[in-house]
Amino acid sequence: MNDSNHLSFEDHDHILIVRILTDSLFDPLVVFDFDRELQEAVQTRQPKQMLVDFANVQRTATGIINSLLLAKKALIAIGGDIAFFNVSENIRHTYRVLRLEGTMFLIFDEERDALEHFKKDS
């Protein structure tokens, strides 16, 4: 597992699990660092599948959505995809209102469900 300031990374059967370590992704500097760390992980690791764990996250800025959309675009370019799990109801509501849940991003309640989804697709 490699750690950065705001993210930790685990390889799990060819699936990259990204755990968000900070509870607030609202400060502009945090958003900037998050984006840099996430995009760097996608470029250097080039995972086919990425799962993002939101368990610690209580607040998030719209810049995080942009960062996740950029990561998805890069993953699609290499035949991959991204999904989330452990997303709080408040944050999940935002993805629903923006019509991103189920269209751009799959959101699972638990890590186990997200892993099973990607394993059946591989």
Q: Which residues of the chain have pLDDT under 50?
A: 1
Task: Go through the chain and tell me how many residues it has.
Answer: 122
Which two tokens mark 113?
Answer: 């469900």
Q: What ranges do the domains of the chain cover?
A: 2-110
Torsion angle, alpha carbons of 69, 94, 84, 122, to 10? -60
Architecture of domain 2-110: 2-Layer Sandwich (3.30)
Q: Cα–Cα distance between 100 and 96 in angstroms, integer? A: 6
Question: In the 8-state DSSP scheme, what is residue 58?
Answer: S
Question: In the 8-state DSSP scheme, what is residue 7?
Answer: E
| Side-chain half-sphere exposure of 58, counting CA atoms within 13 A | 4
Write down the pTM of the prediction.
0.94
pLDDT at 4: 66
Q: Considering only CA atoms, which of 3, 25, 9 is closest in space to residue 87?
A: 25
Which two tokens mark 45?
Answer: 């690791």
Amino acid at 109: D
